[in-house]
Structures are given as structure tokens and as C-alpha cells.
Amino acid sequence: MIPRPLRSSAPTADEAGAWADVLVRHQLLHAAVLAPTGQWLIQDQPDQPVRVLTGPADIVELAAAIQHRIRSKEPRTR
């Protein structure tokens, strides 16, 4: 696998919001809510506790981790 280049800027609140929407829409998270403090409140499943993420970078990092987990489980067909 070819390593991806590092980001040249920090993730924005809009980018984090878009990723949060995708994760919830695809049922990879139960809920993701932006708090007035800029923190994100997320819940993996309805019966699990709410976790607090400190900002946009944490949401983007969570999305990348979920993508990596999903892709590493998929069989390679190429």
C-alpha cells in the first residue's frame, strides 16, 4: 500500500460534520452531535455510553479508522 501524503491543513468543522453525517447515515455510528463547545458527542450503538471527541480532527481520525477497519476485513478481489 502506498502511504498517503500528510494533510496540509487541519480538518474544518464543516468537514467533520460531513464525515459525521456519513458515519451516521451508513449506520457506522448511532449518533454524532456537535456541542456548542466544538466538541463532538458520539455514540457507537444506542445502548453504549456517549463519548466526547475534542474537535474536528478527532472525527476525521475516527472516520479514517472505521474505513481502515472495514477495508481490512474485505477480501481482496483484484
Query: Cell 500500500 appears where?
Result: 1
| Exposure string for 3-39, b = 16+ CB within 10 A, e = fewer | eeeeeeeebeeebbeebbeebbeeebbeebebeeeee
What are the structural domain ranges in the chain? 13-70
pLDDT the model gives residue 73: 81
- Rounded to two decimals, what is the model's pTM? 0.81
Q: Give pLDDT tens digits for 17-32.
A: 999 999 999 999 999 9
Better pLDDT: 6 or 23: 23
**What's the number of CA atoms in the CB half-sphere (13 Å) around residue 56?**
10
Contact present, 10 and 57 (Cβ < 8 Å) = yes
